[in-house]
Amino acid sequence: MCAHTRKILLLLCVSGFSLPLHAGTALLFFGASRHWGCDQSRSSCNYHEFNPGIGVEVAKQTDNWGKVFARLGHYRDSYGDQANFFGLGLRQDWALSRPEWRLGIGIMAGQSTGRHDRTIGLPFAYIARANLAVEFGLAPAQLSDQNYRAKYIGTLNIRWDLD
């Protein structure tokens, strides 16, 4: 087990103890990314934009604003390499005219490992019905990598709340 994977597992354990044992659990399914603003005259812009992967989230409702969550996942990154990540975040949603439909926003920050270890930051929005949510993330690439060739990165993921 590499040193970065051990760090991620340690962070997960520490954050896991800070959330109650009966916190909400969700499965995460990663699938796509999109890269905008890469200058092909200066560098190769051949990103893998199909990024399959799976992860788990543990979340707890806060008294003041939405849910605080911890996520751990494994996926194929935009370079085609296997990568792991750990993130902490906060999200809030609001019911639409039909109570089973919700819109929400959130932000997550954490650490990603792979060929390029990096700190990640991702604001996202989502639409949910019952226990299934489709999340759309969009962030300046500099939030995740100072040397990234693209200017913006978009993501598409699915979250399935188990409770």
* 79: amino acid identity, one letter: Y
71-117 per-position pLDDT tens digit = 999 998 877 889 999 999 999 999 998 778 999 999 999 998 876 67
- Residues with Cβ within 8 Å of residue 104, at least 6 apart in sequence: 66, 91, 92, 93, 94, 125, 126, 127, 128, 133
Q: What is the pLDDT of residue 57?
A: 97
pTM passes above 0.95: no
Q: What is the number of structural domains in the chain?
A: 1
- Residues with Cβ within 8 Å of residue 113, at least 6 apart in sequence: 2, 4, 5, 8, 83, 84, 85
CATH code, domain with 117: 2.40.160.20
With 60 as the cut, is the pLDDT of residue 1 above it? no
For residue 57, the enclosing domain spans 3-161
Q: Backbone phi, then psi, for 17, in 5-degree steps?
A: -75, -20
- pLDDT over 70 for what percent of the chain? 77
CB 131 within 8 A of CB 147: no
Helix, strand, coil percentages, rounded to 5, for the chain: 10, 55, 30
